[in-house]
Amino acid sequence: MAFTATMTGRYDVRLISSGRGDFPGSMVFWGRDHLARHELDFQCVLITGEDRTVLVNTGFPEDLTETNATYSASMGTVIVRDGPSPPVALTRYGIRPEDVTDLVLTPLGLYTSHHITSFPNATIWMSQEGWDSFRSCPDHPHDRPETTLPADAVAYLTGSGRESLRLIHDDTTVAPGIRAWWTGGHHRASICLDIDVDPDDSGEGPRAIAVSDVYFHLRNFMENHPIGMSENIYEVLAAYRRIRSANSLPLPLFDPGNRVRFPGGVVCRRHPESRHTAPHQEGPHRT
């Protein structure tokens, strides 16, 4: 499979970094690299076109003090941010938080869901499995309620924002040419978002971009080696098989290598026939 930054399709697809840090290697690769450290770059994905502005994940809180206290104590990790948080970074593309039409969360966690209430007009998409698991409040060492959704987001999703919530089942259409399906594996709320792209001249290139947290680094997928922070490695491997059989390009949400593979964070550009005018852009945003 070719990995290229020159894909075209119905949507512009860009990456925005929320924060990065070095984590224990065994978190990234199951049963391996116990004494190594690997960087994770927590990225959000901005998808624009077809009269839709879709944001995958909302990023870490503005104030990283509490996050870093927790991460440092448990994993020796400190999160740093090179630029503004994603809600602020959107303005670089002429997008205001109220312009976001769809917010997709994968998985549920403070680094994905902290800013839910910053997007008042967005339809909020999340896994049915993840939402049910959160509401049942299981005694679970990985999916703890206090680190899954912030209190203001819970109040919003069960109150005034309840009509904005959409739950993802298998093969759920989010927008034209964008579909979501449940992967599990990492968390109960983990999904894959497939974004259609144009076929390349050979006809053998990827048919879609597969955005997911079911892989942390591209190597997880290429080596068929599950992520270390897995709730179910069989679900991880099943997701890899499905993505591979669909000839989709895997886009790991935490891979610092995306900065090299996709210069300026640009994963896909809209083809010239797109009917929707792109928002004003002030230049690429470093991931």
Radius of gyration, alpha carbons of the chain: 18
Residue 38: give its domain's CATH number: 3.60.15.10
pTM of this prediction exceeds 0.85:
yes
CA distances from 164 to 55, 120, 158 (A): 15, 9, 10
For tokens 């869901």, what's the residue? 113
What percentage of the chain has pLDDT greater than the value 70?
Answer: 92
Q: What would the pLDDT profile of 93-124 be if each residue is shown by its tens digit?
A: 999 999 999 999 999 998 999 999 999 999 99
Q: 135: domain range? A: 7-270
Whether 275 is in a domain gets the answer no
- Give the count of beta carbons closer than 10 Å to the beta carbon of residue 31: 10
Specify the number of domains making up the chain.
1
Task: Give the dihedral sign, CA 107/108/109/111.
Answer: positive
CA quadruple 24, 27, 28, 31: dihedral sign:
positive
Q: Is residue 168 part of a domain?
A: yes
Please give the pLDDT value at position 278: 42
pLDDT (tens digit per residue) in 34-89? 999 999 999 999 999 999 999 999 999 999 999 999 899 999 999 999 888 888 99
CA 180 remoteness from chain centre: 12
DSSP tag of 251? E
- Say if 60 falls within a structural domain: yes
Residue 8 has, within 13 A of its CA and on its CB side, a CA count of 8
Token digits for 92? 């670089």
Of the candidates 112, 140, 159, the one whose C-alpha atom is nearest the C-alpha of residue 232 is 140
pLDDT of amino acid 204: 76
Q: Is residue 95 part of a domain?
A: yes
Q: Kindly state whether residue 283 falls inside one of the protein's structural domains.
A: no
Q: How far apart are CA 121 and CA 103, in angstroms?
A: 10
Of 284 and 149, the structure prediction assigns the larger pLDDT to 149
Express as a percent the part of the chain with pLDDT over 90. Answer: 78
Residue 2 inside a domain? The answer is no
202: pLDDT strictly greater than 80: no
178 lies in some domain = yes
Q: What is d(CA 54, CA 176) in angstroms, rounded to the nearest whole number?
A: 12
Q: Is 105 helix (H, G, I), strand (E, B) or coil?
A: coil
The answer to the question of residue 164 being in a domain is yes
- Tens-place pLDDT, residues 120-167: 999 999 999 999 998 887 777 777 777 789 899 999 999 999 999 999
